[in-house]
């Protein structure tokens, strides 16, 4: 072996050149290798220590992760520096003519370092902890409770409950109230189909006996009712038909056009022409048109549900900000409501005279200068839903209360609030100055998903007047019994199932009710006959099915639906019998085709007694008073009826 620096021969086994003192290539490589191995051992030891620390203290996963990551980066830097240094020394020592052997690449998945294993373990712990916190309401509530005072936590859960309720009511407002704001350009269609089975014969006989045979329904096998109300461009239309056993018993079509000042009444089964009546001098049509135009423009400015919710939350927060002290916080307080039992944390707030006055003062002071509140009231006034004098009285009341708060006197009240592990309020009790429970709403959910609810007036901790629910709950869906309580006793009970509470409060009641007909009508002869009502109610599309059953046998079923849609133009009928005075009305009534109606009644298998009444009416003739009875009350009075 020769020295790379001076070319002198170096004896075997020598680490340095005897001539110039340069380090031999083999010795340099061996030394660099030893340094790299020592650095790797240090990294392994540090990784093992980090892994043990992560396993022993999971709750410090985030801190461990950062430490291990920093150590891993530093160790990797040391290894990389040592490798670079070794490679540089080797390249200096090995003759340029000799090429270093190619390094063999390790296959993926083999030889994972302890540092990577530790990092993966720590990362998994961090992800699990984060997932629990993000998806568990109870975990978030525990953290909030741990870092909040009793007063701050109490206010937060109260505000959260108000926010939740206000959100559902805002949805109901948008879906129902605002949905009716475009009434002036909408059509509402009502249909009802009646099916009477052969098993209903006994029930129909009972109904006949209960009415002293004034009502005879034995002949009825099927029926249908149809009605439609439309409004478009200051014109109204209401029409309908009643069918029994597939025969039309009665139908009508009424049209009022405020622009033209005309009203039309059609009786298709009795007359081929519409009765046309000039109402321009009977009704203040110009005034009606002005009100309609005002409503149209104002309805487009109606406050949205989110605006009302924002207003409610603002004043709730103002009231809660005045609460400075929460008394007697107690954990694991047992609460029993119906068959459901649970344990909750109880918070108690005493509303003395000073606190009540502070709350009233804050609310009045804010409301008197609240531009958002004023805009909402003005929009309702513009739409004609409230009057300007109503707004004036409202602000006069606020000013009067604000000026005389100190002169008022309030009895002390105590509020007890029960909160579950998720931070939801399950009960609120109000006690008077004598520590007597006077009013409350409360519910409890047992470990077996049992559910109990009560709301009303109390005496000696007993519900004296109000409502109670006892059943089971799955998610937001309830099944059980609802009771009306009076004088401490259950007076009426309705069974229900699949009632979604959140949908109910959001303006879309869905579910099923069941009621005993003998209790409903107070007739023991109908014992065993139940009324079952399936409902899905929305302004745009409502469906209701009412079934009378006995021993699980269907007796009578009514399917009804109400649908809302955009209206089309309403035009005056073509065949019109102009009515100018009472003599013209008489002529119109004398032309009614009673025989056509009597023929339909007989074809529907109606009892002879009913047909005879119709026949007698046809012989007597339908008078002006009878025709007026078919018209809306205000229109009838305007026409001098």
Q: What gap in Å lies between CA 174 and CA 171, rounded to an integer?
A: 5
Average pLDDT estimate for 408-422: 89
Confidence bin at 273 (pLDDT 50/70/90): very high
79 pLDDT exceeds 50?
no
- The whole-number pLDDT of residue 62 equals 43
More confident of the two residues 582 and 202: 202
- Percent of the chain exceeding pLDDT 90 equals 36
Beta carbons of 515 and 534 less than 8 angstroms apart: no
The whole-number pLDDT of residue 621 equals 62
598 vs 110, which has greater pLDDT? 598
Mean pLDDT of 174-182: 84
305 vs 299: CA distance, rounded Å: 14
* Residue 28 banded pLDDT, cuts 50, 70, 90: low
- Position 162 confidence tier, pLDDT thresholds 50, 70, 90: very high
208-220 per-position pLDDT tens digit? 776 666 677 888 9
Q: What are phi and psi of 69, to 5 degrees?
A: -65, -40
**pLDDT at site 615:** 85
Among 155-164, 337-346, 630-639, name the most confident range: 155-164
Instruction: Give the model's pLDDT for residue 246.
Output: 94
pLDDT, residue 422, reads 86
Q: Where are the domains of the chain?
A: 25-102+111-135, 182-298+566-638
Q: What is the pLDDT, as a whole number, of residue 176?
A: 85
Q: Per-residue DSSP letters for 447-478?
A: TTSEEEEEEEEEETTEEEEEEEEEEEEETTEE
Neighbours of 144 (CB within 10 A): 14
The pLDDT > 70 percentage for the chain reads 73
b/e string for 556-590 if b means 16 or more Cβ within 10 A? bbbbbebbbeebeebeeeeeebebeeeeebeebbe
Torsion of Cα atoms, 86 then 89 then 93 then 95, to 10°: 80
Model confidence, pTM:
0.67
Predicted pLDDT at 87: 47
Least confident of 55-64, 241-250, 382-391: 55-64
pLDDT for the residue numbered 211: 66
Q: Look over the chain and give the mean of its residue pLDDT values, rounded to a whole number.
A: 79
What pLDDT is attached to residue 105?
43
């Amino acid at each position: 072996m020769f020295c790379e620096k001076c070319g002198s021969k170096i004896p075997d086994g020598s680490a340095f050149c005897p001539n110039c003192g340069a380090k031999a290539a083999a010795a340099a490589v061996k030394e660099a290798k030893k340094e790299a191995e020592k650095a790797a051992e240090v990294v392994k030891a540090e990784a093992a220590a980090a892994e043990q620390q992560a396993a022993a203290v999971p709750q410090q996963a985030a801190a461990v992760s950062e430490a291990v990551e920093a150590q891993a980066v530093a160790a990797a830097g040391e290894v990389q520096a040592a490798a670079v240094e070794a490679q540089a020394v080797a390249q200096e020592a090995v003759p340029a003519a000799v090429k270093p052997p190619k390094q063999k690449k390790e296959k993926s998945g083999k030889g994972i370092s302890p540092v990577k294993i530790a990092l993966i373990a720590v990362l998994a712990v961090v992800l699990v902890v984060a997932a629990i916190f993000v998806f568990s309401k109870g975990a978030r509530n525990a953290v909030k409770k741990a870092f909040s005072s009793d007063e701050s936590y109490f206010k937060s859960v109260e505000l959260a409950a108000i926010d939740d309720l206000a959100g559902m009511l805002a949805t109901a407002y948008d879906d129902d109230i605002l949905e009716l704001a475009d009434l002036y350009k909408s059509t509402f269609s009502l249909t009802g189909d009646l099916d009477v089975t052969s098993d209903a014969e006994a029930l129909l006989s009972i109904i006949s006996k209960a009415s002293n045979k004034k009502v005879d329904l034995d002949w009825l096998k099927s029926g249908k009712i149809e009605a439609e109300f439309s409004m478009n461009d200051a014109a109204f239309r209401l029409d309908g038909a009643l069918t029994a056993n597939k025969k039309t018993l009665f139908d009508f079509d009424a049209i009022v056009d405020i622009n033209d000042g005309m009203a039309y009444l059609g009786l298709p089964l009795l007359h081929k022409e519409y009765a046309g009546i000039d109402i321009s001098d009977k009704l203040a049509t110009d005034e009606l048109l002005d009100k309609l135009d005002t409503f149209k423009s104002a309805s487009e400015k109606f406050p949205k549900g989110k605006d009302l919710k924002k207003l409610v939350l603002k004043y709730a927060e103002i009231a809660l900000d005045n609460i400075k002290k929460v008394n007697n916080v107690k954990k694991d307080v047992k609460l029993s409501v119906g068959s459901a039992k649970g344990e909750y944390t109880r918070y108690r707030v005493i509303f003395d005279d000073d606190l009540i006055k502070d709350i009233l003062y804050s609310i009045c002071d804010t409301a008197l200068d609240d531009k958002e509140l004023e805009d909402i009231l003005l929009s309702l006034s513009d739409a004609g839903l409230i009057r300007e004098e109503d707004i004036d009285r409202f602000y006069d009341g606020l000013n009067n209360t604000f000026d005389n708060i100190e002169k008022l006197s309030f009895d002390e009240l105590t509020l007890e609030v029960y909160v579950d592990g998720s931070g939801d309020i399950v009960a609120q009790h109000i006690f008077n100055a004598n520590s007597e429970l006077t009013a409350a709403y409360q519910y409890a959910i047992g470990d077996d998903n049992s559910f109990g609810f009560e709301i009303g007036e109390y005496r000696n901790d007993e519900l004296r007047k109000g409502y109670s629910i006892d059943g089971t709950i799955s998610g937001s869906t309830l099944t059980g019994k609802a009771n009306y309580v009076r004088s401490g006793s259950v007076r009426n009970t309705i069974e229900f199932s699949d009632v979604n509470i959140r949908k109910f409060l959001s303006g879309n009641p869905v579910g099923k009710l069941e009621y005993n007909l003998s209790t409903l009508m107070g007739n023991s002869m109908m014992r065993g006959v139940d009324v079952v009502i399936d409902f899905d109610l929305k302004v745009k599309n409502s469906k209701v099915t009412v079934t009378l059953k006995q021993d699980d046998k269907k007796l009578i079923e009514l399917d009804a639906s109400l649908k809302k849609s955009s209206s089309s133009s309403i035009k005056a009928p073509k065949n019109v019998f102009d009515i100018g005075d009472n003599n013209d009305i008489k002529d119109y009534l004398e032309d009614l085709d009673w025989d056509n109606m009597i023929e339909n009644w007989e074809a529907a298998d109606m009892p002879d007694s009913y047909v005879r009444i119709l026949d007698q009416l046809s012989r007597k003739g339908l008078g002006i008073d009878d025709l007026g009875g078919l018209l809306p009350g205000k229109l009838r009075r305007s026409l001098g009826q």
